[in-house]
Structure 1
C-alpha cells in the first residue's frame, strides 16, 4: 500500500505541478524564440512552428515519465541536470525525426536546433535547481526526519519497512517495530523489534518517536484499540495502514474520492493520470511508428494481394478496456474460409489455412502491424495484455482466476506475457494461466519504464518466436 502520509522534498501538489509544467512550456517556447532571433537567417515559420508544437507534445509525455520535477536532497546533479537534459534531448530529437519524416522537403537548421537545445536545456535545468533549492529550504524549515514506529507483522509490515527505506529522500525513518506475529523473528536490518508493549512504549517515549503506524489487518480491532489506548496521553500521530492483501486484487492502494479516502479492493490499478499519460504516449508512438513503417505496410499489402485472393486486412471483434468491443486489424495470413458460427479455431502448427506469405507474417509478427491504427484510434495500447477472441473470453473467464481483470486497461500490441514466451496457440489451460499471471503482474507493476523495457524486448527478441505459427 502507498503511504498516503508520505511527502518528499520537491513533490508538489497538483496545482503546483500544473504550474511547473506550464513553466516548462514557456521555457521551451522562449528558447525557440531566442534562438530564432539571434540566428542570421529567418526561421521558416510553418515547418518550424510544427517542430516546436511536436516538441512540446513529446515533452508533455516524456517529462512526467522521467519524473523531472521531483526534487532531491541527494544525487542533485543527476536529478536536476542529467535527467531533465536527457528528457529534453529525447523530446527534441523525437520531434525533429517526426517532422522531417512527415515533411520530407523540410530540413531543420542545425544551428537553430543546437542553440534552441542549449538555451531551453539551460532554462529547464535552472528551473529544476530553483525548485529543488526551494524544496530543501522548506524541508529545513520543517521537520528534517520524522521517526516512525510500526506495529505489525508478516509481509505487509516488511513491505512497509522496505518502502520507507527504499524511497529516495524520504522524510520518514523507521525507529522501531512492534512485532505482533506469533513467533519471534529476526529484526529487519538494524531496526530494534519489541514484543513487550510497555518496553515498546518506553522506547517510543524515550527517543521522541513522532509517528505510530498500525500496519494491521482489518480484523485486529482489539490490537488497534489497545495501541490507541496505550498512547492516549502522548502527542504522537497514530495512523492506520490496513493490511488488505487478503481482500485486494492488486496492491490495495489508497485513492481520493472527492476528499473521501478509500482503498481499492477491486479496481483499475492505474490512476486516471497514469492512463492519460499512457494514452498520449501511445498515440504519439503509433503515429511515429506508422510513418516509419509505411514502406513495410505497402510491401506487405502488395505481397498479400498478389499471392492469394481476398482482402488485405483481416478484422475480428475483440474486447478492449472495460469490456468495450472493437474491430482489431491484422494483415490477412489465411486463405479466405467460412468459420463455424460461435467457434474460433486457433492457428496450429502446419495449419493448411495459412498461406505462404501468411506463415512468414505470423512467424515475424508483421501481421500485427496494422494494430497501430487501432492504437491511433484509441482502441488499443502499444503495451498491454493481448486481446483474445470474444469466444475465448467467454470460455476462460470462468476457469482462469483473474482473467477478466486483463481488461482493466486497453489491450496491447505486445505485452509482458508475450516477451516472456507466452504467445501463440493456447492448447492447454496452463498456457492461458501463464498468460494471465504475467498480465496481472504487468497491471500491478506498471510504469513507463516497464513499457519501454517491453517495447525494446519485443524489438530485439519478441518479434520471432517458435510458438508463432
Structure 2
C-alpha cells in the first residue's frame, strides 16, 4: 500500500502565519504544567496504549478502501501550531481528483456553492465514496492521524486541523496557539451544523480552559460520537 501525497512538500513550506509567530509564542510563554508537559505525555501514552487495537482496524479499513479501487492512504498539508505546515495522514474517503470534481460541482450548483463558502463542507458531497461515507460517519478515517500525534504535529484533543486555503476565513488567533486535534470541542458538539468561522469560538474557549479533565471529557464524548456515527 502506498500513501498518496497532495499539495506542496511541507518541508519547503513557510509557516502560514509567520508574522504572528513571535506574538503567539509570547502569549503562550507561561502556560500551565498540563499544557507544557502533561498534555504531550497524555498524547503519547494513550496512542501507544491504543496501537494494538487501532493498527489492525486501520489495516482492515485500508483493505476495504483498496477493494473499492482507490489508494487507501493519502496525506494533505494542514496548518499546525504557530502556523507551521505539516502533513496530515488519513484514510481515503474521496474519489481521485476530488478538488477538480468539487470545483466542477460548485460551478453547476449555486446552492451548494453558498453552502461550501459558509461551512467549508457539503451535506451531500459528490466526492465521497461509498466506503468513505462509512469511514466519515464512524470517524475511522481519522485514525492514521495518531501517527501525527506521535510525531508531535497534532494532539489527541485540539482544534480541527485547518487547510491552508481556509486560513483567511478563520477570524481568531486561538487556533494557532494549539496543536490541532484528532478530536476536539467543535468535533463533539456541532460537527455538522455550525459555520466554519464558528469554530473559532470553540477554539478560543478550549484554549482558555484546557485541562486534563476537559481533555478526558472530550475524549469520552468522542467515543459517543463514534458509536452514534455522527462524524463528518
Q: Fold-level match, TM-score > 0.5?
A: yes
TM-score range, shorter chain: 0.7 to 0.9
1:382 maps to: 156
Aligned counterpart for 1:457 among listed residues 207, 215, 221: 221
Structure ranking higher in helix proportion: 2
Aligned counterpart for 1:431 among listed residues 195, 215, 221: 195
Change in 2 beyond 3 A, CA 1:366/1:412: same
CA deviations on 1:249-286 (whole Å, 9 max, x unpaired) are xxxxxxxxxxxxxxx9x712862733222112111111
Q: Is the 8 A contact 2:73 2:89 kept in 1?
A: yes
- Which has more radius of gyration? 1
Task: Answer yes or no: is 1:339 the counterpart of 2:99.
Answer: yes
CA-atom RMSD in angstroms? 2.4
Task: Answer yes or no: is 1:413 the counterpart of 2:177.
Answer: no
Distance 1:323 1:363 in 2: 29
What are structure 2's unaligned runs of at least 5 residues?
1-23, 104-115
Task: Answer yes or no: is 1:291 the counterpart of 2:52.
Answer: yes
1:371 maps to: 145
1:279 maps to: 40
* Structure 2 residue matching 1:362: 3-state secondary structure: helix
1:355 maps to: 129
Task: Answer yes or no: is 1:447 the counterpart of 2:211.
Answer: yes
Q: Is the 8 A contact 2:149 2:155 kept in 1?
A: yes
2:72 maps to: 312
1:322 maps to: 82
Shift of 1:291: 2.1
Q: Is the 8 A contact 1:365 1:464 kept in 2?
A: no
Distance 1:432 1:352 in 2: 20
Q: Could you state the TM-score of these two structures normalised by the residue count of structure 1?
A: 0.38
Change in 2 beyond 3 A, CA 1:338/1:296: closer
What are structure 1's unaligned runs of at least 5 residues?
1-263
Shift of 1:292: 1.8
Change in 2 beyond 3 A, CA 1:365/1:463: farther
Change in 2 beyond 3 A, CA 1:440/1:347: closer
Change in 2 beyond 3 A, CA 1:380/1:270: farther
Change in 2 beyond 3 A, CA 1:334/1:433: closer
Give the structure, 1 or 2, with the largest relative contact order (CA under 8 Å, sep 6 or more). Answer: 2
Shift of 1:298: 1.3
Aligned pair count reads 190
Distance 1:269 1:292 in 2: 37
Shift of 1:462: 5.3
Q: 267-276 vs 430-439, which deviates more?
A: 267-276
* Structure 1 residue matching 2:220: 3-state secondary structure: helix
Change in 2 beyond 3 A, CA 1:268/1:432: farther
Distance 2:30 2:129 in 1: 40
Q: Could you state the TM-score of these two structures normalised by the residue count of structure 2?
A: 0.74
Change in 2 beyond 3 A, CA 1:338/1:368: closer
Distance 2:184 2:29 in 1: 16
